[in-house]
Amino acid sequence: MTARRGSRVSALRSEDEEAPVVTLPKPGETVTFAAHIKPLFRSLDRQSMSFAFDLWKYADVNQHAEAILDRLDAGTMPCDGPWFDEQAETVRAWVESGKAE
């Protein structure tokens, strides 16, 4: 049996870590980094990737967008379990629409 996106609760997440406020784009809305992509990444995600780049910086995520999308599709990012399909599709829509800041 395989896990579905978003079906696991992080064993690494502390109880006092607030879940980010995620606003998925409405149909027809332009997906932007500031409004839709950056909020998808928790501080734990940012910390775990800090050796390579900063998930909260547009320039870094823009540069590595295809690799991030590949990891999301494979279910290997974030480190503690895959996202819900809607979250990964938001990143895909952002990449395919030109990666608005």
Helix 85-96, helix 65-74: angle, nearest 10:
150
For residue 63 the two structure tokens come to 């540069």
Question: What total number of domains does the chain contain?
Answer: 1
Does residue 101 form part of some domain?
no
Q: Which residues pair with 100 in a beta bridge?
A: 32
Residue 4 domain-assigned? no
pTM for the whole thing? 0.79
Residue 70 lies in a domain: yes
Length of the chain equals: 101
pLDDT at 88 over 70: yes
Q: Among 8-22, 35-49, 74-88, where is mean pLDDT lowest?
A: 8-22
Distance CA 1, CA 52 (A): 32
Give me the sign of the Cα torsion angle 80, 84, 90, 91: positive
Determine, yes or no, domain membership for 2.
no
Per DSSP, 40 falls in state G
Assess if residue 78 is contained within a domain.
Answer: yes
Task: Tell which residue, 29, 17, 85, 98, has the closest CA to residue 58.
Answer: 98
What number of H helices and E strands is found in the chain?
4, 0
pLDDT band for 79, please (50, 70, 90 cuts). Answer: confident
* pLDDT reading at 12 higher than 60: no
Dist. CA 67–CA 1, nearest whole Å: 26
Identify which has the larger pLDDT, 80 or 37: 37
The answer as to whether 9 is a domain residue is no
pLDDT at 15: 47
What domain range includes position 78? 33-96
